[in-house]
Amino acid sequence: MRCVGREGVTGRLRVVVAAFLVVGGLALVLVLPQLGLSQTSDERVVYMALIEPKGGVTVDKEPFPGTQMPKGGGYVLNPPNPQGRWEVSVYQFSPATVVVRQGERVTLEMVGINGAKHSVHIDKYVPNHSVVKRGEIGRVKFTADTPGVFKIHCEEHQPSMEGTLVVLPR
């Protein structure tokens, strides 16, 4: 029978403690980025879809409402087609509210899902229209140097296609 002396037990204990430290350290390295605690970057990319949710039905199920929609292209109410189907839709940014921190270098990556084109500008930050066509990606970049609440506009689809940029103070 093999006899383990005092030195042998201490040595094994050291190996076990060292193994725990290595595994624990590895776990921290893997978990911290998930918690966002190690994020030091001042870059922020926000992905936005330029969308048009739509609903429709035939007149035998629901009569055409004939509502007077606000002008500007944001709301669309199409009367019944020859098959009796009518449709309603609205153009929107998704998400419509973007929150960033003061000082961040922001990229809004906008994808045109529906609508032939969207001419987008942001009060204070993006004065010139950035045009995004269906099936294309438009990237708008700016540094959020001033805190506050700013409107994001689409020229073609008022009044509904409007977003809000919130710049939180540091």
Residues that bind Cu ion (CB under 5 A): 91, 118, 154, 156-157, 161
Amino acid code (one letter) for 5: G
Amino acid code (one letter) for 129: H
Query: With respect to Cu ion, which residue has the nearer C-beta, 161 or 165?
Result: 161
Q: Minimum Å distance from CB 89 to Cu ion? A: 12
Residue with tokens 């609440």: 149
* Helix, strand, coil percentages, rounded to 5, for the chain: 20, 45, 35
Name the nearest CA neighbour of 125 among 98, 147, 143, 103: 143
**Separation in Å, CA 67 to CA 24, 63, 76, 125, 160:** 63, 11, 10, 36, 16
Q: Minimum Å distance from CB 95 to Cu ion? A: 15
Query: With respect to Cu ion, which residue has the nearer C-beta, 100 or 154?
Result: 154
Beta bridge partners of 134: 112
Query: With respect to Cu ion, which residue has the nearer C-beta, 57 or 90?
Result: 90
Query: With respect to Cu ion, which residue has the nearer C-beta, 44 or 117?
Result: 117
Q: Minimum Å distance from CB 62 to Cu ion? A: 27
Q: Minimum Å distance from CB 109 to Cu ion? A: 16
